[in-house]
Structure 1
């Protein structure tokens, strides 16, 4: 064998070995593959806690206005004070009304006196008519006059009562037990019926208002997840602490907001310690039970063109992309409603380095 023939033979052997090695490198069927942790899909029962942004409102919250005009004489309360139903809050100046009351009382007494005189005259004429001294027409006239004066007395009494009622409006009292808000006006201020004196909030019961989407609302109806299926309704305060009392779900509003596509619900919370205040905010956690659902860690799922996929490992340890349907998010997990079966093996970590059809070595 010549030297040239030997060199050619060596090059052929090296080329065949290189081709064989390259073929083995890219053929997943002939390589063991890189190790990746996997998990088996197992349906189970769990609790789903869905967070909502909530705005708190007092069970009763009303503005206090005066029902009459005048000067604000006295303020008997302080901002933030707890008041009782019927407690005197403000006193308006009633000196002018007292003068009107005196006039109305005098007018009433005068009208009563005139009616008394007419009554005596009617009785006198009645005697004369009975004796046939005068005709019955005279009796009819004095009787009509008497009745007219009685009506005037009734009008005068109504005027007097009206002034007394207006005087009672100068004493402004609390309509219910509650807490006083800011008092914008001071003693001596000129008050009209439009003037805001303060606001009182009854916070013994507090409502947490929150919105859910139109889609979630109809899903709730279709799935039958009504108030009876709710395990608990809890409130997380702005500082991250949990409110110690659970809430009760109240009925929804009758209309869906066409601007936002949301519908409002509210949850009722007892507030015995007066911890919650009107106008505060928080996070509402509504917990519902889920039966026989598949939960996947979020890091096992990747998204392509708004669709969710996972890598499922088949019997030959080949990774295959599979589309799944995600229903809801639960903490660091997805609630999967379709696309997977029990005992499917899912690649748990490292999905960014896997391609469709790669052979892997399952771990765990």
Structure 2
């Protein structure tokens, strides 16, 4: 067998295959090298322009709102005290009334008769008392002349006492009758506004039936609830203010946001609070008084109490510079050797396009934008931006 010829044939075939393989694979290697070089250059160019913000402490006023329930300073249910038909309605729903102004008139014939009967009984009792008094005077003369015994005089005096007590009883009955008659005319208990009138003329009402409501809304109360921790913070601040002879917290003026989102033009004053915490929620209600000269606010309205809360030595962290993983918030912090490092922080609350936090130190530098391209430990070429530039960048990104 010619082994030499066979080996030469195998070498020739291998050389032809190597040539074809090299021809096919070389463009791929060249294309991959170009793409890799472009990718690295792009990453390097992007990372060299990463904006960095240096953090400084701030003292800011943060508005905080509480849902509140608004009630009139005076709100009274006007109910019938006696039974009768509605003879007259002197007012209309929504009408302003004055104290003691007549609102409704119920049938009064029956009560007029009771008054007349009671008055007649009083007159009869007075006449009987007068007759017994004359009898006593007459018997005194006879006793002085020793014509009759003193026992008859004592009996006449006793009868006079009974007659005088009958006068007192008759007067009481007459007064009760007049009071019942007065209940047939229902009057306004104070200056206010008439609410809905469910009964119309001719309706039969019984004692206790609701005729309408009267509300005085020249001023209104706004009740809002705070947590036990907020209550303790408020009380400690109040005690500290009193010890320092400064203005009392009760003089603090609060703002009211109406249900349409518009601020109320008048400020209110915190007056008092409930005595106990509410079971189940652990909250306690505060009361704020607001003037209402234009009567814009009605009884039962809703709104929000807005308070200004001063936060000192805190940091404003742009929300765009953060990311979350399993309910934890993170930012990229720049180290001294220009490498980025992931750091978690605790947001106290939102403040516009920022988070408020106290988890940093003055001078810490965070990555402002481009956090999607970063990895922990990656080296960058940072570009420092001012707070104003950072705000403008973040604000413009919202458009």
Mark yes or no: TM-score above 0.5: yes
Q: After alignment, is 220-229 or 61-70 more displaced?
A: 220-229
Task: Provide the aligned C-alpha RMSD in A.
Answer: 2.9
Query: Which residue does the alignment assign to 1:244?
Result: 265
SS at match of 2:173: helix
TM-score by length of 2: 0.78
Q: Per-residue CA shift, 1:263-300, capped at 9, x if unaligned?
A: 22232211111111111112322113333332223333
Q: Which moved more, 1:311-320 or 1:69-78?
A: 311-320
Secondary structure of the corresponding residue to residue 96 of structure 1: helix
Confirm whether residue 323 of structure 1 aligns to residue 344 of structure 2: yes
Equivalent position of 1:295 in the other structure: 316
Q: What TM-score does the superposition give when structure 1 sets the normalisation length?
A: 0.85
Q: Does 1:104 align with 2:118?
A: yes
Instruction: Tell me whether 1:145 sits opposite 2:159 in the alignment.
Output: yes
Moved runs in structure 1, 4+ residues, more than 6 A?
none
1:177-216 mapped onto 2 (5 Å cutoff): 177-216=191-230
Unaligned runs of 5+ in 2: 1-14, 16-28, 242-247, 386-399
How many residues align? The count is 342
Matching residue within 338, 346, 363 for 1:343:
363
Q: In structure 2, what is the Cα distance between the partners aligned to 1:309 and 1:351?
A: 11
Q: How far, CA to CA, are the matches of 1:284 and 1:327 in structure 2?
A: 20
8 Å contact 1:71–1:191 — kept in the other structure? yes
Looking at structure 2, the residues matched to 35 and 279 of structure 1 have their Cα atoms a distance apart, in angstroms, of 57
Counterpart-to-counterpart distance in 2, 1:290 and 1:296: 14
**1:192 shift after superposition:** 1.6
Which residue of 1 is the match for residue 98 of structure 2? 84
Counterpart of 1:40 (choices 31, 46, 54) is 54
Q: Could you say if the C-alpha distance between residues 222 and 158 of structure 1 is closer, same or farther in structure 2, counting changes exceeding 3 Å? A: closer
Of 174, 190, 204, which aligns to 1:176? Answer: 190
The question of 1:134 aligning with 2:145 is answered no
Q: Which of 300, 303, 315 matches 1:282?
A: 303
Structure number with bigger Rg: 2
Contact preservation (8 Å) 2:329, 2:345: yes
Summarize deviations over 1:92-147 as a string: whole Å, max 9, x none.
Answer: 11110000111111111111111111111111111111222222222211111110
Shift of 1:194: 1.9
SS in structure 2 at match of 1:251? strand
> What are the ranges of 5 or more consecutive residues in structure 1 without an aligned counterpart?
5-13
**Matched residues in 1 for 2:225 and 2:373: separation?**
40
